[in-house]
Each structure stands twice: as structure tokens, then as C-alpha cells.
Amino acid sequence: MLDPRDLHRQPDHRIFAGLDIGTSKIGVVIGQLSEDDKLCILGVGMSPSKGLRQGVVINLDQAVQSIDRAVQEAQLTAGVKVQDFVVGIAGDHIRSINSRGVVAVAGKDKEIDQSDVDRVLEAARAINLPPDRELLHVLPQEFIVDNQGGIKNPIGISGVRLEAEVHIVTGAVTSANNILRSVSKAGYHVSQLVLEPIASHYAVLDENEKELGVALIDLGGGTTDIALFHEGVIRNTAVIGLGSQNVTNDIALGLRTPIEQAEMIKCRYGSCLAPESRDDDTFMVPGIGGREPREVSRTLLTSIIQPRMEEIFSLAAKEIKRSEYGEKLGAGIVLTGGGALLKNAAELAEEIFGVPVKVGAPHVLQGLIESASSPVFSTGVGLVLYGIEHENDEQLRVAGRKGGFLKTFFNSLRSVAEDFFQG
């Protein structure tokens, strides 16, 4: 096995870093690609997420400090300094739609070439965006040549009419700006801004699942992010503004105990399903403001947790059903994010979704395997993998800031399309 300490001493090191600005924690993952293109996790860092609410920056100074703390910790474990980060974005300001573009084939002898593909992708992303929203991703799904659908790579095919179906993700300009500003104020650079569930899927899903049809549900602290895949490509994304912190708040209110205690009780005794009678023991709950501690049964705790988890899963089920691909989940549902660690989360989800559900964590094979293999780090590891896959992309949002938007936009589309064709 590779030893991370040897790896980064190699002269031609290729370091990639992901910065997951979550609502509960800021997670940083630093990885390195070996000569045979294997990812080794060199460092991870985590700090409580201060100054953010539901993925949106509400206090810049606190957000900057939290980011810096997590980055410092990851750099210390990795023994390398990192400047550029692939950064995740989520929050209920995220919207996504599927769009379609159509062009006449202009290539020689009506043979489709790269410029036809560029034009049709440009036509597909030409949606009316209000000034307060901006494009984050334009992801090709399939091409249609003279009504023949399901084509992944149309280049070289002859036809008159070329259509493209794409999945478009947009975000609020102010939210994206605040994330860029926080990272930059902490002294780092954002190389790409990536929708979190798009990043997470790189760490958690395998090709077979994506081909058969799968919904990835990232149950975080403040948001629940959904990404739907079918026939190997992303079909839909959605963000719900509820997460596992809502469960903690319910426990704090229901048991009249401070948030920190409620969080501990959730992780230690919490479950989404009523305990078997033999497990129905009790635990002590400290009171607020000098009140006496009380004895509480697990059954009572479950009666607080279960309705909130049911609500979150039901909202996710509604989002999934809205998509035509909701009926095509051959590989079921993969739950990830810290909220997926709650006992019996997959079992309750199975009852609500009516399809097989499993908890997914990053497939980390080398380096800090134990630290990075938790569902809490799915987005962080996914951001590193996204950075590797899209190393040469100038992502839309960041490219736009540097000027030369249109040129880089086309480069970006082309590179996304090339990626898609290879997949």
C-alpha cells in the first residue's frame, strides 16, 4: 500500500483538494493522484460550521474562520500546503431544470462535428435567467439525431437535425458570491464551484448503479440533497431545506434539553424506528437551567425522531416522483451524509420509498482510509474526485469571474461533453 508520507515527496505530485462548506461542519479533504492514477487521501480536516445557515453564508467573518480552521487541520495531517480548492455549493436557493436545444447540422456532408455539438449545447442552455440567478452546471444527458434518441456521442453520425437534452443547475448569485468571498478572504482560491450532490456521487455511487437508475440522497445537517441517475447520466437534482439538525432541534424541544445534549442523545440513543421491546431501556437527560435530570425511554425518543425523518424522506420521495426517472430506480436509493448515520435511517427510508435503500460512504482505498470513509466525508472526497475528473475545465461560475466568459463557457461545455462521451 502507498504511504502518503512517501507519496507527496515525489517531485511530480498532483494534489487535489475539496472544501465542503456544510451547514454542520466544514470538511476539507486533500488527495493525491499516484503515477498509476490511484487516489490517496493525504489529509482531512473538519471544523464546526459557523456563520452559515442551510448552506448560505450569514456571517462572513465566522465562515472565514471556520474555513481556515478546517483547511489548516487538513494541511497539517497532509503535510502539504494547498491553495486551490474545489468547493461545494448547496442550499435551497439551488434550482435545476432539464432543457433541450435544437440546431440544423452544418458539418460537411451533414456529418455532425464538434462545432455542431457546441452549438446545440449552447442552444440548450439558452434559458431565461433572472439577473439574481446564475448557471452552475450544464450537464448533457443525451443527443437526438433526426428523432433517433439515446445517443451519447453524435460526432461522426449523419443527420439533418441535432437535438441535445441537458440538465441545468442554477444558484442565487449572492449565495455563490458569498461562498467565493469567504474562501478568498480566508486566503484560498476556488478552482471550481460544484453542486454538492453532484460531487458526492463521484465518491459513493458505482457505474452499475448509475446505469440501472439510482437516487443519491445526501442527508446533511441543514439540507437534504438529491441527485437522480439513469443510464449512466444525471437526470435530476434537488435540494430540500431540512436536514438532521431539525431532528436535533426537535429532540432539544421535546426533551427540554440544550442543543449539545440533544445532539449527543441523537447520535448515541436515537433511532428512526421503535426499539424492540428488549432494547427499550432508558437514559438520563440533563435539564435546562439547573433543573433535575430526567429518565427518558428510547420509545419516547423515537416518537420525536421518527416523524421528522418521515417528513424529510416524504419530501425527498415527492421530489423523486416528480421526475419521470423516479420510476426507474433499478438500483434503489443510496443514503449518505452524516444524517444517514442515524440508526435505522435506511430501514425507515425503505418503508417510505418502497425500494431498496443502503447507506453509502466514500470508497477510499489508500491513505487516511478510516477518517475519509465516513458518509460525513462523501461530499469532501467527491469534490476531490470531481477536481480530478474535471481538471482542465474552467467551470462556468468561476470562469465567468475571470472574464472571457464565453470562450471559457464553450471550453467548459466541450470538456463536459467529452467527459460524457467517454463515460
Ligand X SMILES: Nc1ncnc2c1ncn2[C@@H]1O[C@H](COP(=O)(O)OP(=O)(O)OP(=O)(O)O)[C@@H](O)[C@H]1O
Q: How is residue 414 written as a grid cell?
A: 466541450
Q: Is 51 in the site for ligand X (CB under 6 A)?
A: no
User: Which residues share a beta bridge with 239?
Assistant: 225
Question: Shortest Cβ distance from residue 168 to ligand X (Å)?
Answer: 22
| Residue 366 interface partner, choices ligand X, Mg ion, none, CB cut-off 5-8 Å depending on type | none
| Residue 344 interface partner, choices Mg ion, ligand X, none, CB cut-off 5-8 Å depending on type | none
Question: Shortest Cβ distance from residue 337 to Mg ion (Å)?
Answer: 5
Binding mask 219-238 for Mg ion (x = CB under 5 A): -x------------------
Judged by beta carbon, residue 107 or residue 220, the one nearer Mg ion is 220
Q: Figure out which of the listed residues 119, 137, 201, 266 binds ligand X, where binding follows CB under 6 A.
A: 266
Stretch near ligand X under the rule CB under 6 A, chosen from 18-26, 32-40, 292-300, 408-416: 18-26
User: Which residues share a beta bridge with 299?
Assistant: none
- The residues in 1-60 that bind Mg ion, with binding defined as CB under 5 A, are 22
Residue with cell 434518441: 149
Q: Figure out which of the listed residues 32, 49, 237, 395 binds ligand X, where binding follows CB under 6 A.
A: 49
Sign of CA dihedral 57, 29, 331, 207: positive
| Residue 140 interface partner, choices ligand X, Mg ion, none, CB cut-off 5-8 Å depending on type | none
Binding mask 267-296 for ligand X (x = CB under 6 A): x-----------------------------
- The residues in 137-156 that bind ligand X, with binding defined as CB under 6 A, are none
CA–CA dist 93, 183 (Å, integer): 19
- Count of CB atoms within 10 A of residue 169's CB? 22
- The residues in 319-358 that bind ligand X, with binding defined as CB under 6 A, are 337-339, 341-342
Of all residues in this chain, which one has the CB nearest to Mg ion in the complex?
A: 220
Residue with cell 426517472: 325
Question: Shortest Cβ distance from residue 210 to Mg ion (Å)?
Answer: 20
CA–CA dist 150, 34 (Å, integer): 36
Do residues 356 and 239 make contact, with C-beta atoms less than 8 angstroms apart?
Answer: no
CA–CA dist 145, 163 (Å, integer): 6
Judged by beta carbon, residue 20 or residue 350, the one nearer ligand X is 20
Q: Figure out which of the listed residues 43, 51, 55, 107 binds ligand X, where binding follows CB under 6 A.
A: 55
- The residues in 205-264 that bind ligand X, with binding defined as CB under 6 A, are 220-223, 243-245, 248, 263
Do residues 127 and 95 make contact, with C-beta atoms less than 8 angstroms apart?
Answer: no
Q: Figure out which of the listed residues 22, 45, 360, 362 binds ligand X, where binding follows CB under 6 A.
A: 22
Q: How is residue 111 written as a grid cell?
A: 456529418
CA–CA dist 161, 353 (Å, integer): 40
Show the beta-strand stretches assigned E in 289-408: 294-297, 333-336, 357-359, 366-367
| Residue 200 interface partner, choices Mg ion, ligand X, none, CB cut-off 5-8 Å depending on type | none
Helix/strand/coil for 92: coil
CA–CA dist 183, 51 (Å, integer): 13
CA–CA dist 370, 365 (Å, integer): 10
Do residues 170 and 98 make contact, with C-beta atoms less than 8 angstroms apart?
Answer: no
Question: Shortest Cβ distance from residue 223 to ligand X (Å)?
Answer: 4
Using CB under 5 A as the criterion, which residues of the chain lie in contact with Mg ion when the complex forms?
A: 22, 220, 379
Using CB under 6 A as the criterion, which residues of the chain lie in contact with ligand X when the complex forms?
A: 20, 22-25, 49, 55, 90, 220-223, 243-245, 248, 263, 266-267, 337-339, 341-342, 376
